[in-house]
Chain A
C-alpha cells in the first residue's frame, strides 16, 4: 500500500511561493490502476514525483506499507526507486548512446543482475512490447512510439510494485498511443500497480480509479 497523507508542496518562484500541491491524500493498493487528470500546471507531475521519491513534500507524508518515506536517506530513496518503482516519462528519457536493449537493462545492471540474465530479461520485455527486431537500435533510430515502448519495458524491467507514468502518451500519435494503452492494460492485468497522470481521457478511462487535480487540490474525478 502506498499512501499519500495531506501532502503539500510549495516552490519558491523568486520571492513568490507557488503552491503546487495542497493537502493531497491518496491511497494506492497493490494491483490498482489509478489515473490522475488535470490541466497543465495543476500539480500532477509534482504529485507523481513525490510518490516516486523523486521529490520531497513541504509537508505531509508518503507511506509505503506504513513506512514514512520522508525519513529515508538519499541513498535509501535511490534504492527504493530502483526496486519498488518504475518510471515512464512523457519525453521517454532514454540514454542516447545505449541501444534499446541496453536501455531496458540499465535498472537490472544497477541491481547487479548477471549479464546473460539481464540480456534475456530485457530481450523478453522488448519482445512483449513488439520491438524484438529493434533491440540493437539506438533511440535516435526509433520512432516516438517505439521509444515510449522501450521506456515502458525499462520501467517494468525490475518488476517493480508500482509503475508511475507521467503523460506516457503525451508525445505520441494515435496509432502509437493505442499500443501504449494496450501495454499498460497488460501490465495491470499481470498484477502491476499503475499510477498515471494524463491529459488524455482515453488513457484515463483505462483506470479503475480516476482522480482529478486542479490548482494543487486532489479529488475524486466526477
Chain B
C-alpha cells in the first residue's frame, strides 16, 4: 500500500452504510413523514394516557404521605359500582392511636361531605348549590409536598376555606372572597388542595374537620387517615395490628389500583396505537422493499466485488435506522404541537389544567418503538437484498 500523505475528509471516514443512508435522504423523506406522523399521533395518545393517569395518581406520587388508613373493605379507588371509602368512626381516638405509634411523623384525618351553598341574599326557586367539602384534621403542612397551594395560604382557623383550583375557576372565587355554606360565612384564604384527600380534590372546598362536623352534622368520623412515617412498612404493620377493622394502603397499592381502573378505558386507545404502529411498519417495510428492488443493480455490484453480506444487510438496516431517528424527531415535533393545542384549547374548555403529559421518558420510549419498528420493517427487505444474485442482475443489465 502507498505511504499515507493525505488525510481523508470527514465524510470519507464515515462507514459506507452511513454515507449511503444519509445521501439517500430524499428517498427516505416519504417514509420519515409517514412514520413521523404515526409516531406523533402515538406519542400524543400516550401523552394523553399519561395525562389522564396523572390526573389520578399525580397527587399520590407527589405527596410525601406514605400510608392511607381506611375502613376494612373500603377502597380509595372504586372499581365496581357500590365500592367506596367507608368511614372510620371514633376518629379522634384512632388518630391519637396512630399518632402515638413510633416512627409516625404526621397524621391527618380527612372527611368529605356535601354542603349547601347558601346565597347571601335569599333567592327563591333556585336549586341549592352543593359544594364537596373536605374536612381536614391535623397539620397537613407537616407532610412534605402534601399541600398544593396555588395562591393565598392553607387553613389556620375554623372560619376559613381553601378552594380547589377547579372549583375556584368554575365559581369565579378568589382569595379574599367569602363563601356562605350552610349559612356560615367562610373566608377564602387560599386556592389549592391537600394532595391525596380526594380524586376530586381540584373541585372541592377544604376546611377544618370541625367546621365540616358542625355544618354537616357529621359525627366523630373520618373517611381515612393520611400518615407520614419514617419506616412506612413497619408503621403499616403496627397500624394494622393496633387499630381494629382497618386497611392500610401504601402508594404502590394506590397506583396499581388506579392503573387497573385506567386500563379498562385505555384498551381502545392501545388498540388504536397498535394499529397506527402496524400500518407505519407495513408502510416502511414496503418502501424499503421498493428501494431494495430499485437498488438491486448496485447491491449486486457490491456483492460481486466482494462486499460481505453483513455490509449489504447493514445498508438496508441503515436506511431503516435513519427513518426511525428522523421520524422520531418529526413525531416529537408533531406531538409537542398537538400537546400545546390540547392543553391550551381542549384542556381549558374541559376545565382541566392539562391533559397532555409527555416527558423525556415518553420520547425515549417512542424512539425505542421506532427502532423496533424499523428493525421489524427491515427484515423482509434485508432478506430480499441478500437474495440478490450478482450474476443474474449483472447479466440482465
Contacts and interface: CB of A to CB of B under 8 A. Distances in A.
Contacts of B5: 120
Given A91-B397, A124-B2, A166-B394, 17 more contacts: A49-B395, A52-B304, A75-B309, A79-B308, A81-B304, A82-B306, A82-B308, A87-B304, A89-B394, A97-B19, A97-B23, A102-B19, A106-B307, A109-B15, A110-B306, A113-B1, A120-B3
B376 to A, nearest CB: 25
Contact of B4 (A85, A87, A94, A117): A117
Contacts of A83: 306
Interface in A114-129: 115-121, 123-124
A71 interface: no
A80 B309 CA distance: 14
B309 A95 contact: no
Interface residues of A, number: 46
B12 A115 contact: yes
A23 interface: no
Contacts of A75: 308-309
Given A54-B391, A120-B4, A79 B20 contact: no
19 contacts: A46-B395, A49-B391, A54-B390, A78-B307, A86-B305, A87-B305, A89-B394, A91-B397, A93-B301, A97-B20, A98-B19, A107-B307, A109-B15, A109-B16, A110-B308, A110-B311, A119-B6, A119-B7, A120-B8
Given A97-B19, A110-B308, A55 B1 contact: no
A218 to B, nearest CB: 18
Contacts of B307: 78, 82, 106-107, 110
Interface string A143-174: 00000000000110010000000100000000
A81 B300 CA distance: 13
Query: Binding site of B, secondary structure by majority: helix, strand, loop or mixed?
Result: helix
B397 A93 contact: yes
A105 interface: yes
A116 B10 CA distance: 10
Interface string B87-131: 000000000000000000000000000000000000000000000
Contacts of B13: 115
Contacts of A96: 298
Given A91-B397, A98-B20, A123 B6 contact: yes
A12 to B, nearest CB: 13
Find the residue from A81, A91, A93 having the highest chain B CB count within 10 A.
Answer: A93
3 A-B pairs with least C-beta separation: A82-B306, A119-B8, A81-B306
Interface in A3-61: 45-46, 49, 52, 54-55
Contacts of A81: 304-306
Nearest to A119: B8
Nearest to B397: A91
A102 B395 CA distance: 24
A196 interface: no
A116 B7 contact: yes
A207 interface: no
Given A106-B16, A118-B8, A121-B2, A95 B391 contact: no
B290 interface: no
Nearest to A108: B1
A197 interface: no
B26 to A, nearest CB: 10
A102 B308 CA distance: 17
A101 interface: yes
A78 B7 contact: no
A149 to B, nearest CB: 16
A210 to B, nearest CB: 23
A52 B391 CA distance: 10
A64 to B, nearest CB: 14
Nearest to A83: B306
Nearest to B20: A97
Contacts of A116: 4, 6-8
A110 B301 CA distance: 13
Contacts of B23: 97-98
Contacts of A124: 2
A101 B16 CA distance: 12
Interface string B298-320: 10111111111101000000000
Given A75-B309, A95-B298, A120-B5, A101 B303 contact: no
B1 A97 contact: no
Contacts of B58: none
A121 B311 contact: no
B12 A105 contact: yes
B12 A107 contact: no
Contact of B1 (A45, A93, A117): A117
A99 B9 CA distance: 12
Contacts of A120: 2-6, 8
Given A54-B390, A98-B20, A117-B1, A45 B395 contact: yes
Contacts of B304: 52, 54, 81, 87, 89, 93
B394 A54 contact: yes
A89 B306 CA distance: 14
